[in-house]
Amino acid sequence: MKLLSVAKSLLLQPFRQIYQTMRKRGNVDTSGSSGDKPPSVEEGYAWLKDQTGNALTRLQAVKASDSAVIIADDLYFAPIYTTFQQGVVQCLLSALDHLRFLAWSLENREHPYPYAQATVIRTAITGAATALWMADGNTPTERRLRALEFNFKDLKSRLGWLNTLAADPINQPFPPADQATFDALVVEIDKRLNWILQQATTLQSRATLFTQNTYGGQCTSDTKMVQLAGAVVPALSSGGFDPACVLSNSWQLLSGYAHARPWASLQSSKHIVKDATPDPQTGVITVAVQGDPERLLDYAFRALRVVEAGISTLEHLSA
């Protein structure tokens, strides 16, 4: 029970910290109150909406200067028709897209959804952490190695989708023209994957060329990216807790929602007893589940802090 209490004590810290910071800056109307009154969830929804909008404006304003270090990173990926910046920006846009939708859905629904909004935040953390992980490499080589992994996974997943599409009986056989287009696309994806393997082999000074299996097996997991993102965002730390663990713990819990794990709801949702009389055969009572708005805000602001760190890092690389 002590561990459960400690875990729950983490849930509201950032939301309350944001309130205290805004109050000190004079951004919270405290007239007619003690000034220490906790914010309402409606205020939290408004802050989330405003801050995600501000973050989007910042991101859209990023433009690399002629002397920016990111230009060389961008040119490095020309053989596979993408840029370093494109991958980082797309991940940040995805994260902000999910957080903006979250703010809208929280404002326009009487009660939060039991599961869906938690899953939205989880996706936002994943995208933001991936962007920050790529951009936060200390050297051009480290940034490029990370972006090679990102593009490898992107191409592999696209190829997997294409193969599933082709395996559908309704598509067998493809009309000749469609088959030719499909084959050409697969060849091009394989060409880009092979380029990534060659570059990764060179940058890591390996004696033997990576295969898709050996390279894929050593790629950084989403879990590790989230841990690394938390470690470089000190704003996530509160009450002496380690920021890497805080972000990782939040993401793991939200992943429980995304994968329909009952334990996640037991940990972080509201439960309303509809019928406390146990079923005579199963012992089960009837309970309704609601999302907890304060906890959802807590997780959302953690995701937003990672987005903001990613934008700051991108701005630095583009200066």
Which pair of tokens denotes residue 246?
């805080």
Could you report the per-residue pLDDT of 221-265, keeping only the tens digit for each?
999 999 999 999 987 766 678 888 999 999 999 999 999 999 999
- Give CA–CA dist 165/174, Å, rounded: 11
| Contact assessment for residue 115 and residue 257, using Cβ atoms and an 8 Å cutoff | yes
Among the ranges given (4-13, 163-172, 229-238, 260-269), the one the predictor scored with the smallest mean pLDDT: 4-13
Three-class DSSP labels, 180-230? HHHHHHHHHHHHHHHHHHHHHHHHCCCCCCCCHHHHHHHCCCHHHHHHHHH
Could you report the per-residue pLDDT of 267-292, keeping only the tens digit for each?
999 889 998 999 999 999 998 888 99
Q: Is 273 helix (H, G, I), strand (E, B) or coil?
A: strand
Q: How far is CA 140 from CA 43, 65, 130, 135, 185, in A?
A: 42, 17, 17, 10, 30
Which pair of tokens denotes residue 96?
């902000």
State what percent of residues in the chain have pLDDT above 70.
87
Does residue 17 carry a pLDDT above 90? no
